[in-house]
Amino acid sequence: MAESPEFRRATLADLECLVALARRTFLEAYSELNQPEYMNAHVQDAFSRDSLRELLNSDDTITLLATAGGRPVAYAQLCRESPCPGNAAGPSMELMRIYVDSTVQGAGIGAGLLRESISLAKKTGHQSLWLQVWDRNPRARRFYERHGFEAVGATSFMLGPERQSDIVMALALAGAAGSSVRGAGCD
């Protein structure tokens, strides 16, 4: 990639490009291993204009957008106050979604977006940043592990009538109480 990516907070003016990016990247990430009818139904619901408009308007959700060459190529959505499953204490922020267009994967944009997300969580006083990753996505798990995330639990996700297993991963943030993810209250 010739041009360095830019990272910024998405606004309502980005709604149409965010809808297209969210739908495309979700399908790229999961279509190969899932039933098309379940994928299409989920995309129509989770990435509808109304759903994404609601998230952009929410005080609890922050959407970050990465652009390269003037076009949106990745995004992340974070929930400000989202207790990590099993979390007993300490404020934690959830990285609800992070997706990178397949045409720019491997160019460092995902890593940059993750760094921006970690920085945001630190600046807002959170003790940990956590996420869920599909247990059938070892590439994503390795990516998060390279950035210091640890597996701290498991949960599930419904795609149509299929229950899929997710691994809960968390990162203790510098300056937070405790020296490990578990110490940050995300057991």
d(Cα 118, Cα 49) in Å, to the nearest integer? Answer: 27
Q: From the CB of residue 104, how many other CB atoms can be counted at a distance below 10 Å?
A: 18
Determine the 3-state secondary structure of 96 from DSSP: strand
Using DSSP bridges, classify how beta strands 128-134 and 92-100 pair: parallel, antiparallel or unpaired. parallel
Segment 42-74, tens digit of pLDDT: 999 999 999 999 999 999 999 999 999 989 999
Mean pLDDT to the nearest integer, 75-81: 95
Residue 171 · residue 130 · CB < 8 Å? yes
Mean pLDDT to the nearest integer, 110-116: 97
Q: Please state which CATH number belongs to domain 6-184.
A: 3.40.630.30
Say which residue the tokens 């509808």 belong to: 48
d(Cα 21, Cα 11) in Å, to the nearest integer? Answer: 14
Segment 134-162, tens digit of pLDDT: 999 999 999 999 999 999 999 999 999 99
Determine the 3-state secondary structure of 5 from DSSP: coil
pLDDT band, very low/low/confident/very high, at 175 (cuts 50, 70, 90): low
pTM listed for this prediction = 0.89
Mean pLDDT to the nearest integer, 93-104: 96
d(Cα 51, Cα 47) in Å, to the nearest integer? Answer: 6
- Provide, rounded to the nearest whole percent, the portion of the chain with pLDDT above 70: 89
CA angle (125 as vertex; 123, 131 as ends), nearest 5: 90
Segment 5-29, tens digit of pLDDT: 999 999 999 999 999 999 999 999 9
pLDDT band, very low/low/confident/very high, at 90 (cuts 50, 70, 90): low
